[in-house]
Structure 1
Amino acid sequence: MDLLEMDDQLTIVNQSTEYRISKKLIRKVPYFEKMLSHECLESKENKVELDFDKQTLEIILNLVESDYAIITIEMKYITNTTFWIGYPIETIEYICALDLMVYSEYQVFDAIMRWVNYKVDSRKRYLERLLKLVRWCHLNEQDLSKIKENELFKSSGFEPIFCAPRKVDCNCTFNRAKQNFFIMIEKFEKSTDLRIKVLDNNLTQLVSQVIRHDPCVSPKLFHDEHVSDLLFDTRKNSLRIDWKRKKFMWFVPPQPYTQLLKTIDGNIGYGTHLSGDLEPGEKIEDGSLLLEGDENFGLIYIHAGRLHYFSRQPYINYIMFPSLNQCKATILNDKIYLLTNKRKLYEFKIEVNNKVLRRTWSHRLWHNKFSFTNTLLTSNPAVY
């Protein structure tokens, strides 16, 4: 390694573990960019000592080395460290304003409170300044009640600002607890390689990665965190991707996942079974589709012009159902959307109390220039 390469290398010592990475790459992370842009000891010696959560740091380094455009990190990995309570107010303010992945805005509130409480006498003056970074519009009633019972919050006299989430100048517009991504799978001619692209809600590309086929990717149901499954066609093929090794394999997923669901759920029944009629004359071959919605797996089944919905996948009989090849479908809240190969789009409302699947509307998409053969319907609500 020549002197120029050595000068570009940053040594990171985190909890006695040592890492080496290019300064040019690590500057993608604002924290390191700020550190290396100043005349501080770390920038002169090409070495920095940290007390980060090991899992978080390794995720960051792997993503940086993979040349990903944007790094998404769960907030718990940042705040659940001894380093968090030692950050200056400017760093806490910067992190809490980011679009980090959180399960609830209460997580942001809790992180702020832990930082303030560590040196409450000197830090409570910053409380109102930090509480403005909580996106109050996206808190549920249960979390709001818990916050209002917090003694430090009550003594602060802070009044949360609630605004319409879709208001143009509202700081709460982006819901950090509901981050969605679009995935594109591109095939190469005369090659088994694939290109995986990940886009955010605004269709900004975050990842573009070429992966090579390898049947030896781990087949275990519980795999490493750098391995993930794309369940885009549960009847034929889905992908298991090892992002670290840039490899993938094809697999047919129903059996292990249904067994896992049965183990967790403890119920192998059909759950709620509702049905409704398609339009008269709509001819679709019998078949079923496994759908994911509201963090649960459901099943739709078309038979003799009727659409059947099972709120809980019938584990035992699922494999017996033929595959539904003439439709695309998805579930969004209490509605099922069905797109047939004849360009007919249906909406069915799931009315559990009335024990019916009610067809609320249907519309034929007449435009001949559009083909829906490779279309995927997703349960992602539009934001206006």
Structure 2
Amino acid sequence: MKPSPSERVTVSPYLVFILIHSMQLGLSYLSMTIKPIQWAGQDAWISVLLCGLSIHVIIWMMYGILNRNETDLIEIHHQFFGKWAGGALNFIFVVYFLLGSIYQMRLFIEIIQVWIFPDIRTWSLALVLLLLVYYIVAGGFRVILGICMLSLLQHCLSFSLVFAAAFFHFNNLFPILDHSMNNILKSAKEMTFPYFGVEMLFFCYMFIKNPKKSQKWAHIGNVITTMFYLVIILSILLLFKPEQLSTEIWPELSNYKFVRFPFIEHIEFIGVSSLIFALFPVVCLCLWASTRMMKHMFTIKQLAVLPIFLILVFIVVCLIPDRNGVEEVKSWLSKIGFYIIYMYIPFLYIVDIVRMKVRRAV
């Protein structure tokens, strides 16, 4: 079993809610409403609640696995499946987190290119951002979690809904339950993508003081995310009809068009720029987890792997040419994430239960 991290690099249990919320927030919520609303229309808000409830079950399963084994997923894979199969499973998570970093980075750059600087080169912005990411990740887990706290600043910009409220059409929410359960479930499946990120608990568990006490905070983090997403989808439903969303790429950013101040002409520039506070936590945690896995798989220094992964992310980000490329990456990431969250974690939970019963019987 790997030695536990020293106490000076661990964090208090209550900070887990920051970890969960910042990983789930990301930039995925900017376009999360389009497909769910196309499936379930005005009932799409029900999908948010169903997804939030399902993630609570997944968090409960994850803590069941982690608390019984008292180690992280890297070691659990080795214990359950052996060195080679366990290493292969760890490598899948490495690819998954790298793909997540690439998607978030390229999406942010695309938004900046569309809304603020149309002529900026992808490589130049990616280079600056990844240099900052290196500085943060090299500082260690506590520094990354400090950056995660900045993601809460995103909620301050929810004030834009006050300006948009005059244009709300509450009739858009009726009739309630007008769609079949099948369509609502399909809408819920499309809604799962913004909730991905809870799997980071598998790799941060050993860096939490008294980790068993952190479970309630993980659930609180998911509740906050669910409430945030519920407000977003209700605001979109009140502003748009389902057929209008076919022309929107990031409906959430449209709220800034309603904000008017006599001393600020383009408030959307501030809103779009602030998305960097949602970008850094996800990218930094993904790269930290992937380099940590490589450290234990190949017994090399984590900081030696980090520049290699940053160069890889930089190259792939620069090779994604347009919106179709971004959507392709999102499609792959969504499929892998769905299988990990809703199939692999329950499978691992069952394997752990069976393994414990067999050991007790012997």
Scaled to the shorter chain, the TM-score interval is under 0.3
TM-score normalised by L of structure 2: 0.19
Instruction: Tell me which protein shows more helix as a share of its residues.
Output: 2
- Larger Rg belongs to: 1
Instruction: Tell me which protein shows more strand as a share of its residues.
Output: 1
TM-score normalised by L of structure 1: 0.18
